[in-house]
Chain A
Amino acid sequence: MDKVIIVKDLSLSYSNSETIINTVNFSVDSGSFVFITGASGSGKSTLLKSFFGALKPKQGSLVVGGVELNNVSRSKLNFLRRHIGVVFQDYKLVQEWNIEKNIMLPLLINGYIKSVAQNQVDKLLKHVRLNHQAGKYPQELSGGEQQRVAMARALSHNPILILADEPTGNLDDYSSELIWKLLEGANEQLKTTVIVVTHHIPETLSVNYKHYHIEYGSINEVN
């Protein structure tokens, strides 16, 4: 099975601070669903950041989607990011754009023509049950709705990998359930690799998943 992420002796730290992730080794299979858990401040979000090149490895090697991230050029990093979908706890939506334009962003970056992009956005809006709110702006939506917009944006360009950092951290049970279903759907139907950083793994998941736990800078697979 192809590996989407290969981590070898990876250490991570923010500049001039202590090492957060210390010499970890693991890999992620293509099409798998992975949970990374750990206490607050354990370094799980830091590890996720390194997967999309927001933090460079201090030591060791990190390969994502075949791209070595140790000394990656900006253009190569941009190329990699065009094949990744990211979801954050605080949604990270462009406030001055309506939700339609927010969802369209990765499609336009990937060079889709406007009519094709619009068609894809319409489909996704229906998929995340927001087709009646296309013209609204992020601050006019609830937290759950904003996260569904962020999910639709992450799915819009059919990425090979979805990275989600506490995607349900700010949401009620109903909205959380919807987000998990969307992530499961992407993994089961589109065979997209999904990596989720979270405190709690939902009990209602139907997909097979791998679970890694981070503690004291080390990562261990939980059976």
Chain B
Amino acid sequence: MRSIKNHLSLVIALLSILFSIQIFFIVDRAIDAYKDNLTNNYSVIAVSQNKLDNNVLLSINKNILSIEELSPDSVIKRLNSDMQKKNIELLKLSLPKFYKINLNSYPSPEQVNQLTSDLLKNSSITKVENFSQNHKTTYKLLLLFKNVVMIFALVVIVVTLLLIFKELKIWQYKHNERMNIMGLFGAALWLRSAVLFRLAVVDALIASFLALGIFLYFSSSPWVLEQLNTIGINIVIFDPINDFAIILGIALAISIFLASMIVIGHKEEV
């Protein structure tokens, strides 16, 4: 019971830090997934008098991923009821060429303007439709979401620091006494600190494995999966290898940092 009490204070602090960090990762992944969705659904339409070479179009702007020529059939279909086949063929020849331009990432409004201006520099292109009004609204929403996540990350960092410093004070009080007593009997610094570092590593391992258990449960929870499906986002909530390596590394770094600070700040008192 006493042994559990010794570990509990740091394990809880570490666990809350790891929990916050992993939540930040999940939100960040959700934003990236949302951005990918937007990129897939957004494209610019260019209208040209002549047929354009794909390679020429690709070299116009580095944000262009691919180009698809749009078939004029859907436009003609609406008109062809009373037209003769010969006239339809003539109309087809006189119609301008429509190109759907897909981008490699979701662009900023400045990038959209730059792309439009680059496309219009080509003498064959007469018009570019960039759906700028819709794009601006979506982009602002994304920006807001990103900023909220950034603020969340900052809050996590501040709370983490506060937790660390609070924990540091408790540890300093708790371990200084033991280190002093060990010093009275001639324990070398490494031996006086060994107990502290062992405790730090054990607590980091306990907190990391608890976090692993909690997030594995969450990542397989039907309720969580259903919520993500509802908003159309498919992300990895917890990668048991990479994410666990990250949280274990963070937990070890924090607890070893705490232990080092105590050893550095230790003053012998009798």
Contacts and interface: CB of A to CB of B under 8 A. Distances in A.
Interface of A: 49, 52, 54, 74-75, 77-84, 86, 92-97, 105-106, 109-110, 137, 153, 157
B181 interface: yes
A96 B181 contact: no
Report which residue of B174, B185, B268 has the largest number of chain A beta carbons within 10 angstroms of its beta carbon: B185
A54 B184 CA distance: 9
A105 B6 contact: no
B185 A109 contact: yes
Given A49-B270, A96-B2, A109-B191, A78 B186 contact: yes
Interface magnitude class on chain B: 10 to 19
A92 B181 contact: yes
B178 interface: yes
Contacts of A78: 186-188
Contacts of A97: 178
Nearest to B187: A109
Interface of B: 2, 6, 174, 177-178, 180-189, 191, 268, 270
Shortest Cβ-Cβ A-B pairs, 6 listed? A81-B186, A82-B186, A78-B186, A54-B270, A106-B185, A109-B187
A95 B184 CA distance: 16
Contacts of A109: 182, 185-187, 191
A93 B184 CA distance: 11
A97 B175 CA distance: 12
B203 to A, nearest CB: 14
Contacts of B182: 94, 105, 109
A105 B183 CA distance: 11
Contact of A81 (B174, B177, B184): B184
A79 B191 CA distance: 13
